[in-house]
Chain A
Amino acid sequence: MIITLTGTTAGGIEQAILRARSNVGVPTGLVFTMIAVAEACDHDEVVAACVDAGREHPSRILVVSTADPHGESRLDAEIRLGEEVPGDLIALRLHGELAHHADSVLLALLLPDSPVVVWWPGTAPDDPGADPVGALALRRITDAMGTPEPIPALLARAGSYSPGDTDLTWTRLTRWRGLLAAATDAYPSPVTAAEVRGEPGNAAALLLAAWLDCRLGAPVALVDDGDGIGITGVVLHTEAGDLRLERSDGSMAKFSAPGLSRRIVALPRRDLNALITEELRRLEEDAAYSATMARLALRSSSAPDPGSEEAR
């Protein structure tokens, strides 16, 4: 069921949902509220990712976008119940001055007594934790790699970190980190130095280097690999020899270790839906991310231009 409301209020939306519920009998097992702050241009992609995430974690999804900032204040809403998601999806369009008071609408529409997650798929506020919408949430998800300048955006995140923040750049690293941890499980010789290779200006490679630096306490170099897609490889130099995980095509990786010829392992780049779904699996503060961001801030202040040769 899709209900379209123009020139409404938060109370009007609530009433429309309740009325629809008693007609179609949608179950109310929703576990949290997710707010996605969309720009007009990527509205559809954001809705698609939310629908996917909503399938794994049934939730109330509020997609917020703004329109004609100089026009008259007005709230339009489209409510979808039981269409593609087990929960509800409400697209809110804020016109005029109301665009600056989104929290007044959202506050009334949050599900009672359950967590709130905010996601900015594109440009996010400089300090998400201090943003009025961000402040409603327990978890704030940003995506530096979805902005025009990923590395400065990621560094800005590192500077303004508050508990509950995460950036999808970090989520993109999970499989890499898993494989590296498994490699050092199987080959426990101490790591003396490490190297992360990636396409120039790749924020994920920068963050992976910061994580290794943070965990290993050994020098970690970041090397530009002009031909690659995303992260192209990690080498851990250990006392027993090198552990190498290399991926040139963005999908299959090769792993080699002392005494072991190359093994192949699937290491695909994951799409947005998979990232958001992983992100929503944990709603508590991510201590490993927090420590890595702190290390990133430290590394960037000591190396003037991360990603350049000096960073070695």
Chain B
Amino acid sequence: MSEAPPNPLRDPGDRRLPRMAGPCALVMFGVTGDLSRKKLLPAVYDLANRGLLSPGFGLVGFARRDWAAEHFAGVVLEAVRQNARTPFREDVWQQLLEGIRFVPGDLDDDDAFEELARTLAELDQVQGTGGNHAFYLSLPPGAFDTALDQLVRHRLAGRERAGQNWSRVVIEKPFGHDLASAKALQSRVDAAFEAGSVFRIDHYLGKETVQNLLAFRFANQLFEPIWNRTFLDHVQITMAEDIGIEGRAGYYDGIGQARDVIQNHLLQLLALTAMEEPISFSAASLRAEKLKVLSAARPAADLATGSARGQYLAGWSGGRKVAGYLAEPGIPSDSRTETYAALRVDVDNRRWAGVPFYLRAAKRMPRRVTEVALVLRPAPYLPFAADDIRSLGSNALVMRIQPDEGITLRFGAKLPATGMEVRDVTMDFAYGTSFAESSPEAYERLILDVLLGDPPLFPGHEEVEESWRILDPVLDFWEGLDEPPQGYSAGSWGPSDGDAVLARDGRAWRRP
């Protein structure tokens, strides 16, 4: 591809021309799952509707279902009608429909993979997908290996295809359950594929607001000067969910909140918040900076006070009576899986020494919210009478990631009265009121990036391994404890142990 002369119709100055995926086929494993129905299939339609897919695009479903292609098309159609972000258009659907195929079979069924190979060859011929194939493995961890092996065995993907048309593999979290298993997974992936053709999806990185964090930090002069230990007291990264495990007992039990979201989403947010300025937004530069800061991060030395875990009990959550974790269907009554995890992480470098990062992630919180809050030090001197500043808290800069995306700045202002009394006020930027309501779904952006072969928003395996290195001691420590996780009422902000992680340092969690 690289030897081809530049396309005369492409002009770097022509900013309107869309980044459009070339001819290719997307093969989806695990296409009957929730994620496919709710996010992936609708995202594919939205891409087509925005005119970002080539006319030579094919979509192949692979699953253990005795379906004909028409039946699968019906499943896709239903998913699109229910969950697509853009309006349904018959002409766009007809375009997609021409390239839709289905291959029934088990992952260990060689015949099914031969059939998949034939289907792809047929698509290349008829639909003009040009031998370019992306394999999206939306599979439980136990099925990864088989799928990888089969793709290589049937020469659908892997190193042997180097130099031909592209073939890419997309893998979903979890990337292992600790450092050792992550390394083992990586060595198997590495044996089968070129590093450049493996895409690890962390859908958080596809979110507009997470990318906006980069714009916020590196496009502005205003904030960088305070982005360090001189001005900041500490950082709080919160990811609260209002839901429980919602029928995902089989996946969730034994995994828990720390492995499920801290290892990936929260530590990626930490990396983007704490990293130095990358020399460019290329994948290599971005990964280099994230990796550097993750390598400098470590959990608290005393994990008994620097970490906390909890498990939700029955309670009232947002006006509904809900069951406790142990009473959820499919959860063993003696389960010690945590649904609340909080920990202190320190970053050992000049910018952050002495500025702890407090991470918490939990289910059955009062509301769904993800945010990064930078809490500033108190002003060095306050020429006010103590009574006048009783209502003045710490200044804070909060990046709200979801659902109400935006930025809040909290500072003190004078109360309108004759005296000089100061109170906290907030200044608010809401992403949604200044920009498109119809911003693309994270998966839309990420799928397009896979088809374009554009990796900056995908974490590299070194980052995954560093994240496990940070988390492993905490997980081991919890494993070794005699007592079970502390209970907290569903619909509350978590157990007292979680509050104690900050209280010990003379701080307190923000109420997001």
Q: A residues touching B (Cβ–Cβ < 8 Å)? A: 27, 29-31, 55-58, 86, 174-175, 177-182, 184-186, 188, 190-191, 212, 215-217, 251-252, 255, 257, 260-261, 263-266, 268, 278, 282, 284, 286-288
Contact = CB atoms under 8 A, between A and B. Distances in A.
B127 to A, nearest CB: 7
B22 A215 contact: no
Interface in B398-437: 428-430, 432-437
Contacts of B56: 186, 260, 263
A185 B22 contact: yes
Interface stretch (B9-17, B179-187, B208-216): B9-17
B91 interface: yes
B16 A174 contact: yes
Contacts of B4: 188
A186 B94 contact: no
Nearest to B428: A27
Contacts of B428: 27
A278 B50 CA distance: 11
23 contacts: A55-B437, A56-B438, A86-B432, A175-B51, A177-B9, A177-B14, A177-B16, A178-B17, A178-B20, A178-B51, A181-B7, A181-B10, A182-B20, A185-B10, A185-B20, A185-B22, A186-B128, A215-B9, A266-B94, A284-B15, A287-B11, A288-B11, A288-B17
A265 B428 CA distance: 43
Contact of B7 (A188, A278, A282): A188
B15 A264 contact: no
A86 to B, nearest CB: 5
Contacts of A266: 48-49, 51, 89, 91-92, 94-95
Contacts of A261: 126
B434 A286 contact: no
A186 to B, nearest CB: 5
A186 B358 CA distance: 49
Contacts of B126: 261
A57 B429 CA distance: 14
Contacts of A57: 435-436
Nearest to A59: B434
Contacts of A27: 428, 430, 433
B23 A282 contact: no
A185 B128 contact: no
Nearest to A278: B16
A179 B23 CA distance: 12
B186 to A, nearest CB: 33
B456 interface: no
The 7 closest A-B pairs by CB, nearest first: A29-B433, A288-B14, A265-B55, A287-B13, A29-B434, A266-B91, A263-B55
Contacts of A282: 15-16
A287 B20 contact: no
A185 B128 CA distance: 13
A90 to B, nearest CB: 18
Contact of A288 (B13, B18, B51, B95): B13
A182 B56 CA distance: 10
A288 to B, nearest CB: 4
B54 interface: yes
A231 to B, nearest CB: 15
B20 A181 contact: yes
B104 interface: no
Contacts of A217: 8
A268 B22 CA distance: 20
B46 to A, nearest CB: 13
Contacts of A175: 51
Given A31-B435, A86-B433, A286-B16, A188 B9 contact: no
A186 B437 contact: no
B242 interface: no
B59 to A, nearest CB: 14
B30 interface: no
Nearest to B4: A188
Contact of A184 (B8, B13, B128, B437): B8
A252 B22 contact: no
B48 A186 contact: no
Contacts of B22: 182, 185-186
Category for how many chain B residues contact A: 35 or more
Contacts of A179: 20, 51, 55
Contacts of A31: 434-435
A49 B7 CA distance: 35
B8 A216 contact: yes
B98 A264 contact: yes
Nearest to A181: B9
B91 A268 contact: yes
A73 B7 CA distance: 57
A257 B128 contact: yes
A127 B97 CA distance: 47
Contact of A252 (B14, B94, B436): B94
Given A57-B435, A263-B56, 16 more contacts: A55-B437, A56-B436, A56-B437, A57-B436, A86-B433, A178-B17, A182-B54, A215-B8, A217-B8, A252-B91, A252-B94, A260-B56, A266-B48, A266-B49, A266-B92, A287-B14
B15 A286 contact: yes
A57 B436 CA distance: 6
B130 A186 contact: yes
Nearest to A170: B16
A180 B22 CA distance: 12
Contact of B128 (A86, A178, A260, A284): A260
A29 B9 contact: no
A184 B20 CA distance: 12
A29 B98 contact: no
Contacts of B10: 181, 185
A87 B9 CA distance: 38
B434 A58 contact: yes
B5 interface: yes
Given A29-B434, A55-B437, A257-B128, A180 B16 contact: no
A174 B15 CA distance: 10
A264 B8 contact: no
Nearest to A257: B128
Nearest to A28: B433
A51 B432 CA distance: 16
Contacts of A58: 433-435
A181 B6 CA distance: 11
A55 B289 CA distance: 37
Nearest to B1: A188
Nearest to A263: B55
Nearest to B5: A188
B27 to A, nearest CB: 19
Contacts of B127: 263
A55 B36 CA distance: 29
A174 B9 CA distance: 12
Contact of B434 (A30, A216, A284): A30
Interface string B124-153: 001110100000000000000000000000
A263 B17 contact: no
B283 to A, nearest CB: 21
Contacts of A191: 8
Contacts of A252: 91, 94-95
A184 B95 CA distance: 20
